[in-house]
């Protein structure tokens, strides 16, 4: 922390209840004048608040009684850790309606059983789950932490990783509200296993996949074997995803899909399904309609060999694996770096692609600058809003991209050296925008941005 030690000691005394009234006033005066101290005060409070959950796990034990006797402020909620609110409200609501576990009218049909259970904690503390216990259609499984296996009578095996909430919807399917499940469907009877999420439907074609729904509704599908049909929009046919591919589906009215793929690590930038860099997209320099610039912080300077930002719209990626001059990248590695593209006027955008390539010439594992990690925003007006605080300034968030998560990068060598990202909508366009803003994290060697669309 950057604040003075003596100030942080005052912060500690205040938060641990030792500060006198005078010390409280002194701290207030210091914080009113010093943004750094406010920032450090908040960070210190966050650490203090997170420690009970981090060291033990049950410090957030809360129980909700929907009809408390009297106005006791204590002990009405009972839940653990990161899924606290979910459990709180589930218990509160479902106890009241008598529907804690059976939400379907077809609740008598037993279709699955619990398999292996590892360190499982359930939202309902009173719930006793044992391996072999049968599961009916309509049961809602609310796992706070640990790993639980669910084996369907069809042979489909689901592994839930807490915190996860899933409802068993049929003899061969479920609805994932939140969390992560891994499916293995190897038997003929399990073919067609359907996993729904709040914004999509994954239909197994005899395979294995992992589906994740984050708290804000972003769905992710990783296919590890075979194929999966994905239905994001009922009015549009399924999209088939095969082994090794992954896609994200953003929540919201427009069904926006993000795909990332590893390239062939040649100047041709060949990907399984994503097209190579284009010189005929709307934003290409040859078209003469778009411009792009870096804002907030400077690009890596020419003294270090970095290329100009215009390389992003020159119609091609890098010609070799470690080519700073053909790459646009930021000198700062911290957040707060942006590429702002002006398309000249609002256009209907159908697809946005980005390409990166970096493999150190001598060190095989050094390919850090290939990672694509950014949030993309759009704006249709004449003057772009300020950057930062995007939720309040008028920018529309289009998609979030983090290729390390998608490629499950745990070791440096897991990271593909050449990456392509494609953002599109399942039907129609991504939206009508004049400005596009990439909020970039890290110092990726971007080689090309392609924007496909028409006025």
Query: Within 20-49, which residues bind another protein (CB under 8 A)?
Result: 21, 23-25, 27-28, 31-32, 35, 38-49
Near another protein by CB under 8 A, which window of 6-14, 199-207, 238-246, 318-326? 6-14
Q: How many residues of this chain interact with another protein, rule: CB under 8 A?
A: 84
Task: Please list the residues that pair with 408 across neighbouring strands.
Answer: none
Long-range CB pairs of 13-19, under 8 A, 24+ apart, other chains included: 15/44, 15/45, 15/48
Burial of 353 (0-12, 13-18, 19+ CB in 10 A): buried
User: 55 or 126: whose CB is closer to another protein?
Assistant: 55
User: Which 8-state DSSP code applies to residue 272?
Assistant: S
User: 276 or 431: whose CB is closer to another protein?
Assistant: 431
Contact residue for another protein among 7, 37, 77, 343 (CB under 8 A): 77
CA distance 325 to 304: 9
Site membership for another protein, residue 84 (CB under 8 A): yes
Contact residue for another protein among 119, 130, 216, 411 (CB under 8 A): 216
Contact residue for another protein among 188, 215, 237, 305 (CB under 8 A): 215
Site membership for another protein, residue 50 (CB under 8 A): yes
User: Binding string, 217-236, against another protein, x = CB under 8 A?
Assistant: x-------------------
Q: Answer for the pair 167, 158: CB distance below 8 angstroms, yes or no.
A: no
CB of 21 to another protein, least distance (A): 5
CB of 78 to another protein, least distance (A): 10
Site membership for another protein, residue 389 (CB under 8 A): yes
Q: Look up residue 446 and give its two tokens.
A: 């971007």
DSSP H or E stretch at residue 39: helix 35-55
Site membership for another protein, residue 86 (CB under 8 A): yes
CB of 47 to another protein, least distance (A): 6
The residues in 233-272 that bind another protein, with binding defined as CB under 8 A, are none
The residues in 322-341 that bind another protein, with binding defined as CB under 8 A, are 333-335
Contact residue for another protein among 37, 80, 91, 94 (CB under 8 A): 94
CA distance 368 to 312: 19
User: 286 or 413: whose CB is closer to another protein?
Assistant: 413
Site membership for another protein, residue 71 (CB under 8 A): no
User: Binding string, 139-168, against another protein, x = CB under 8 A?
Assistant: ------------------------x-x---
- Cβ partners under 8 Å of residue 233, min gap 6: 255, 426, 427
CA distances from 26 to 1, 6, 10, 37 (A): 20, 12, 9, 12
CB of 165 to another protein, least distance (A): 8
Q: Look up residue 104 and give its two tokens.
A: 């379907």
CB of 383 to another protein, least distance (A): 22
Pairing of strands 173-184, 194-197: parallel
| 225-261 burial: b if 16+ Cβ within 10 Å, else e | ebbbbbbbbeeeeebebeeebbbbbbbeebbbbbbbb
Angle in degrees, CA 284, 285, 287, rounded to 5 = 70
CB of 185 to another protein, least distance (A): 25
User: 278 or 321: whose CB is closer to another protein?
Assistant: 321
User: 2 or 288: whose CB is closer to another protein?
Assistant: 2
CA distance 72 to 380: 52
CB of 305 to another protein, least distance (A): 14
Site membership for another protein, residue 112 (CB under 8 A): no
The residues in 360-379 that bind another protein, with binding defined as CB under 8 A, are 365-366, 368-369
- Cβ partners under 8 Å of residue 369, min gap 6: 327, 329, 356, 358, 442, 443, 444, 445
- Cβ partners under 8 Å of residue 242, min gap 6: 223, 226, 227
């Amino acid at each position: 922390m950057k604040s003075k030690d003596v100030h942080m000691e005052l912060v500690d005394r205040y938060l641990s209840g030792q500060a006198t009234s005078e010390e409280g006033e002194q701290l207030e005066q210091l914080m009113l004048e010093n943004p750094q101290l406010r920032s450090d005060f908040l960070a210190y409070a966050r650490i203090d608040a997170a420690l009970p959950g981090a060291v033990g796990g049950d410090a957030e034990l809360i129980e909700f009684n929907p009809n408390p006797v009297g106005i006791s402020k204590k002990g009405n909620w009972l839940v653990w850790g990161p899924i606290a609110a979910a459990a709180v409200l589930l218990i509160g609501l479902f106890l009241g309606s008598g529907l804690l576990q059976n939400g379907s009218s077809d609740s008598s049909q037993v279709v699955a059983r619990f398999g292996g259970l590892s360190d499982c904690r359930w939202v309902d503390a009173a719930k006793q789950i044992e391996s072999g216990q049968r599961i009916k259609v309509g049961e809602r499984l609310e796992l706070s932490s640990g790993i639980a296996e669910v084996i369907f009578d069809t042979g489909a095996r689901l592994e839930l990783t807490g915190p996860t909430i899933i409802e068993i919807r049929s003899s061969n399917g479920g609805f994932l509200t939140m969390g992560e499940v891994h499916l293995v469907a190897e038997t003929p009877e399990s073919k067609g296993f359907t996993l729904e999420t709040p914004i999509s439907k994954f239909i197994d074609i005899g395979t294995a996949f992992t589906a994740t729904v984050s708290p804000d509704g972003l769905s992710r599908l990783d296919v590890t074997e075979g194929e999966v049909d994905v239905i994001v929009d009922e009015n549009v046919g399924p999209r088939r995803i095969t082994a090794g591919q992954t896609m994200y589906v953003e929540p919201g009215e427009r069904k926006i899909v993000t795909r990332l793929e590893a390239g062939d690590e040649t100047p041709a930038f060949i990907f399984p399904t994503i097209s190579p860099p284009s010189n005929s997209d709307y934003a290409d320099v040859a078209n003469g309609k778009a411009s792009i610039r870096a804002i907030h912080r400077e690009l890596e300077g020419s003294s270090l060999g970095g290329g100009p930002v215009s390389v992003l719209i020159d119609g091609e990626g890098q010609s070799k694996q470690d080519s700073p001059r053909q790459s646009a990248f930021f000198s700062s590695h911290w957040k707060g770096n942006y590429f702002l593209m002006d398309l000249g006027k609002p256009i209907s955008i159908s697809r946005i692609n980005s390409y990166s390539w970096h493999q150190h010439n001598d060190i095989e594992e050094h390919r850090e600058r290939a990672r694509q990690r950014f949030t993309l925003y759009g704006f249709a007006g004449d003057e772009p809003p300020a950057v930062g605080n995007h939720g309040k300034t008028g920018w529309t968030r289009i998609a979030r991209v983090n290729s390390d998560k998608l490629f499950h990068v745990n070791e440096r060598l897991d990271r593909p050296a050449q990456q392509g990202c494609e953002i599109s909508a399942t039907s129609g366009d991504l939206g009508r925008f004049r400005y596009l803003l990439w909020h970039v994290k890290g110092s990726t060697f971007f080689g090309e941005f392609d924007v496909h669309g028409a006025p």
